[in-house]
Amino acid sequence: MSNTDPLDRALRIGLVSISDRASAGIYQDQGLPALQDWFSQALASAWQMETRLIPDERSAIEHALIDLVDVAKCDLVITTGGTGPSRRDVTPEATLAVSTKEMPGFGEQMRQISLHFVPTAILSRQVAVIRETTDHAALILNLPGQPKSIKETLEGLKDVDGKPLVNGIFAAVPYCIDLIGGPYIETNASICKAFRPKSAIRIKAQD
């Protein structure tokens, strides 16, 4: 009989890059490599990854999100691309369509971070939601499409000494995953320090 805590299992992350041209092979996708690189540096606990590269089509986005949560059982799903005001940008609509509840604070903070760099950040429509099934739940986040913006959004802004000026959204993700029944996530504090209430911090047992 195993004594392994199910919350000690590896975090399952679904990464979805949404781009008509990249999915058609017209140019090389940049979103998935940027996300993979960031998570490889930021996470200090075990994680697994599933990726999708799809066009800006609402049905394709909805199908990918449902599959990653309901079938692949991802705990966290991150999309990149398709969040602007153009006619083909439908990622937020697809995300909301498959959601159980909205998490508006994430979108608010993403735009706050981006506004430190460009006034056009107010045109971004990123949303975050929870999708729940009878036996599983996942956090779904829409991120921008550019690698630089992905990094800034996730880890926030720091001064020359590395002290946080504006918190990135990932600081709140581990505790959110805790609350919806996912595995306990530990991060590399030099990249992004996870925040939890003191009562939610696990103390490692001594060997």
How far apart CA 29 and CA 94 sit, in angstroms, is 21
Taken in order of first residue, the domains within the chain and their CATH numbers are: 9-199 (3.40.980.10)
Provide the 8-state DSSP code for 121: G
Task: Evaluate if residue 21 carries a pLDDT over 80.
Answer: yes
Residue in this structure with the two tokens 């999100």, named with its chain if needed: 65
Confidence band, pLDDT 50/70/90 cuts, at residue 164: confident
Q: What is the mean pLDDT of residues 1-7?
A: 54
CB 167 within 8 A of CB 173: no
Q: What is the mean pLDDT of residues 44-53?
A: 97
Q: What is the mean pLDDT of residues 69-82?
A: 97
Q: What is the mean pLDDT of residues 74-80?
A: 98
Which amino acid is located at 72 in the chain? A
How far apart CA 110 and CA 143 sit, in angstroms, is 8
How far apart CA 171 and CA 154 sit, in angstroms, is 8
How far apart CA 77 and CA 50 sit, in angstroms, is 9
Provide the 8-state DSSP code for 185: -
- The predicted-structure confidence for 105-121, as pLDDT tens digits, reads as follows 999 999 999 998 899 99
pLDDT of residue 207: 43
pLDDT of residue 143: 96
Residue in this structure with the two tokens 């925040």, named with its chain if needed: 195
Share of residues in the chain with pLDDT > 90 (%): 79
Task: Evaluate if residue 202 carries a pLDDT over 50.
Answer: yes
